[in-house]
C-alpha cells in the first residue's frame, strides 16, 4: 500500500510515542508548531509517490513482495536504482528546501540486508530471514523507519566496553530465551519522532570485549521503555510566535533531530539482526556509511538549487543582478552544487552487487562525495550571504513591518517607516524582499541549517571519517605499481 501524505500524518496520530521538549512531555506532537514542519517534509515523500510526473523516481518494483513500493523502502536491484535514489533526493530537496528525513532508514535497510546475509552464511544464524520478514512488513504498510546509528560515545579514546558508564553505547543488558533487553541512547536522530519504527545499528567497528554492543534490532517508536527528547535548533522558537509567517523563512518545511533513549527495551528474537558477532559490526557501519554519504550527493544538491534560486532573487530585489561579480558568484555556486551531484551520480553508476543480491555504491566515490559535501555547501552559503547583504541578519521583525504604532513627526507608524526605508528594486514589494532575505537567513543560519549547512559537516560522519575511508579505498600501493611499470622501476626482492 502506498500511503498519501495525509494518510501518513494520520498514521502518526495512532502512535503512542513519548516525546519531550523543553523539559516537558508533548502530548500532541503531530500538531506542535516546532515539529509539524518536519512532518510536512516527510509527508512530501509520500505525496510525490502519487504524482504521475514523479512516479518513476518515487516508486520501485519490490523484489520482496512484488508490485510498486515507495522507493524509500526499496532494496537497490541495480545501478539504475542507485542513480534514481540520488535523483529522487535532489527532487525532494528542491520541493522542501530542508531535510525530508527518510533517507537514513532506506540506507539502513540496504546495509542490514546485505550484512545479515553474510553473518548467516558464517554462523548459521537467522538474522537475514528475520530482516527480510521485517522489511516485507515495512513495504506492505509503507512505513517510515529511523535508521539509528550514532551513540553518545562518551570518552572517544575508549572502546564501548571500556567506558565508565556502560550505557554510553547501546548494548544488551539481558539475554532471554525469547529475546534481549537493550539500554542506551542514539543521538542526532534525523526524523526519529516522525518515524513509525526504529532500526538500530552499531556505530563503530568492535572487538571481542564489545560483544554486548555489537547489536542490531528494530522496534516500534512507541515501544515500552523508548522515549525521545527533541533537539533544539537556531531560531526554533520563532515558530511559537503568534501569527508568525515571514520571519520563519521556510514556514511549511523544516528538519528534525532528536535523541532516542532505550530504557531497558525488550526486543523479541524475530527483530534481532546482529547479536554479538563483533566482526560484522564494522561491515555494517561501513556499508551504511557508504549509502548515506551517497545520499548527500542528492539531498544537499536539491536544497542547494533552492539556495541558488533565492540568492538570484535577492540580487533582483536588491538591484544588483547586472553586476559581473554577482553573476560570477552565482556561476560558482552552480558549479559547486553540480560537482556534488556528479559525485552522487558517479558512486551510484559504479555500484556493484553484494552477495545478498542488492546493490552497494562504490565506497571510495561515496566517501569522496561526502568529503566534498563537508566543504562546498559552506562556500555556497558564504556566497549566498555575500549576495544577500547584511540586511539578511539585521532586519527588524515582521511585527515591526506591520506595526501601526505612530512614532514619526508626520504621523508615520513603525510599519510605514520600515516599509519605506527597506524598499528594494521596483521589481518587488518590500515584503517580497523581506521574505527572500528571511528565507536565506533560515536556510543559511537558522532552523533549516540543520538540514543543510551544519549537517553537511557532521551528517553521515565527520570529515575525518571520510578521509579514513578514502585512505583505505584509495589503493596507493596499486598506484605505486602503475608508476613503477611506466617509469621502468623493477620491484626489489
In the residue annotation, 296 being an active-site residue is answered as yes
Please tell me the distance from the alpha carbon of residue 349 to that of residue 490, in angstroms, as a whole number. Answer: 36
Please tell me the distance from the alpha carbon of residue 19 to that of residue 25, in angstroms, as a whole number. Answer: 6
* Burial (CB count within 10 angstroms: exposed 0-12, middle 13-18, buried 19+), residue 177: exposed
In the residue annotation, 24 being an active-site residue is answered as no
Displacement of CA 96 from its chain's centroid (Å)? 13
Displacement of CA 184 from its chain's centroid (Å)? 22
Q: Which of 295, 467, 283, 287 is nearest to 367 (CA)?
A: 467
**Residue carrying C-alpha cell 496520530:** 13
Catalytic residue selected from 41, 103, 219, 418: 103
CB 219 within 8 A of CB 273: no
In the residue annotation, 99 being an active-site residue is answered as yes
Q: If you ran DSSP here, which 8-state letter would residue 412 be given?
A: -
Catalytic residue selected from 257, 286, 385, 398: 257
Please tell me the distance from the alpha carbon of residue 31 to that of residue 29, in angstroms, as a whole number. Answer: 5
In the residue annotation, 219 being an active-site residue is answered as no
Displacement of CA 49 from its chain's centroid (Å)? 19
Catalytic residue selected from 45, 144, 190, 374: 190
Residue 2 DSSP SS3: coil
Q: If you ran DSSP here, which 8-state letter would residue 397 be given?
A: P
Q: Which residues pair with 385 in a beta bridge?
A: none
In the residue annotation, 347 being an active-site residue is answered as no
Please tell me the distance from the alpha carbon of residue 270 to that of residue 109, in angstroms, as a whole number. Answer: 16
Q: How far is CA 371 from CA 306, 368, 374, 416, 466, in A?
A: 22, 5, 5, 48, 6
Please tell me the distance from the alpha carbon of residue 92 to that of residue 337, in angstroms, as a whole number. Answer: 15
Please tell me the distance from the alpha carbon of residue 343 to that of residue 466, in angstroms, as a whole number. Answer: 14
Catalytic residue selected from 99, 219, 343, 418: 99
In the residue annotation, 299 being an active-site residue is answered as yes
> Known catalytic residues?
99, 103, 190, 257, 292, 296, 299, 455
Amino acid at each position: 500500500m502506498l500511503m498519501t501524505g495525509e494518510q501518513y500524518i494520520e498514521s502518526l496520530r495512532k502512535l503512542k510515542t513519548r516525546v519531550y521538549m523543553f523539559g516537558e512531555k508533548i502530548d500532541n506532537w503531530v500538531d506542535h508548531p516546532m515539529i509539524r514542519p518536519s512532518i510536512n517534509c516527510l509527508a512530501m515523500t509520500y505525496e510525490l509517490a502519487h504524482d504521475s510526473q514523479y512516479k518513476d523516481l518515487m516508486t520501485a518494483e519490490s523484489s520482496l513482495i512484488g508490485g510498486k513500493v515507495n522507493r524509500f523502502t526499496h532494496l537497490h536491484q541495480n545501478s539504475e536504482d542507485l542513480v534514481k535514489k540520488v535523483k529522487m533526493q535532489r527532487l525532494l530537496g528542491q520541493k522542501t528546501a530542508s531535510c525530508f528525513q527518510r533517507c537514513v532508514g532506506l540506507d539502513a535497510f540496504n546495509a542490514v540486508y546485505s550484512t545479515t546475509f553474510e553473518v548467516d552464511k558464517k554462523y548459521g544464524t537467522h538474522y537475514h530471514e528475520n530482516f527480510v520478514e521485517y522489511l516485507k512488513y515495512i513495504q506492505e504498510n509503507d512505513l517510515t523507519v529511523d535508521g539509528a546509528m550514532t551513540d553518545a560515545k562518551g570518552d572517544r579514546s575508549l572502546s564501548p566496553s571500556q567506558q565508565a558508564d556502560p550505557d554510553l553505547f547501546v548494548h544488551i543488558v539481558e539475554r532471554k530465551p525469547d529475546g534481549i533487553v537493550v539500554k542506551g541512547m542514539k543521538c542526532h536522530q534525523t526524523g526519529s519522532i516522525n518515524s513509525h519504527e526504529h532500526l538500530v545499528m552499531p556505530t563503530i567497528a568492535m572487538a571481542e570485549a564489545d560483544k554486548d554492543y555489537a547489536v542490531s534490532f528494530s522496534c516500534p517508536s512507541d515501544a515500552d521503555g523508548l522515549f525521545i527528547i527533541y533537539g533544539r535548533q537556531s531560531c526554533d522558537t520563532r515558530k511559537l510566535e503568534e501569527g508568525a509567517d515571514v520571519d520563519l523563512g521556510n514556514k511549511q518545511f523544516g528538519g528534525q533531530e532528536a535523541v532516542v533513549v532505550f530504557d531497558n527495551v525488550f526486543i523479541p528474537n524475530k527483530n534481532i539482526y546482529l547479536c554479538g558477532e563483533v566482526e560484522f559490526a564494522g561491515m555494517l557501519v561501513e556499508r551504511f556509511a557508504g549509502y548515506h554519504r551517497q545520499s548527500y550527493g542528492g539531498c544537499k544538491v536539491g536544497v542547494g538549487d533552492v539556495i541558488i534560486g533565492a540568492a538570484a532573487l535577492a540580487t533582483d530585489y536588491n538591484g544588483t543582478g547586472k553586476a559581473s561579480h554577482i553573476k560570477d558568484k552565482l556561476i560558482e555556486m552552480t558549479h559547486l552544487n553540480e560537482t556534488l551531484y556528479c559525485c552522487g551520480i558517479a558512486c551510484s553508476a559504479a555500484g556493484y552487487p553484494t552477495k545478498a543480491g542488492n546493490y552497494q555504491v562504490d565506497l571510495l566515490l561515496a566517501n569522496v562525495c561526502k568529503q566534498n559535501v563537508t566543504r562546498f555547501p559552506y562556500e555556497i552559503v558564504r556566497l549566498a550571504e555575500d549576495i544577500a547583504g547584511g540586511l539578511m541578519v539585521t532586519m527588524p521583525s515582521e511585527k515591526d513591518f506591520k506595526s501601526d504604532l505612530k512614532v514619526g513627526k508626520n504621523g508615520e507608524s513603525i510599519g510605514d517607516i520600515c516599509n519605506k526605508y527597506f524598499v528594494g528594486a521596483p521589481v518587488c514589494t518590500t515584503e517580497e524582499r523581506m521574505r527572500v532575505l528571511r528565507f536565506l537567513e533560515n536556510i543559511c543560519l537558522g532552523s533549516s541549517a540543520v538540514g543543510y549547512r551544519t549537517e553537511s559537516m557532521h551528517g553521515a560522519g565527520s570529515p575525518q571519517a571520510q578521509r579514513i575511508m578514502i585512505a583505505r579505498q584509495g589503493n596507493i600501493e596499486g598506484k605505486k605499481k602503475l608508476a613503477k611499470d611506466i617509469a621502468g622501476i623493477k620491484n626489489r626482492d
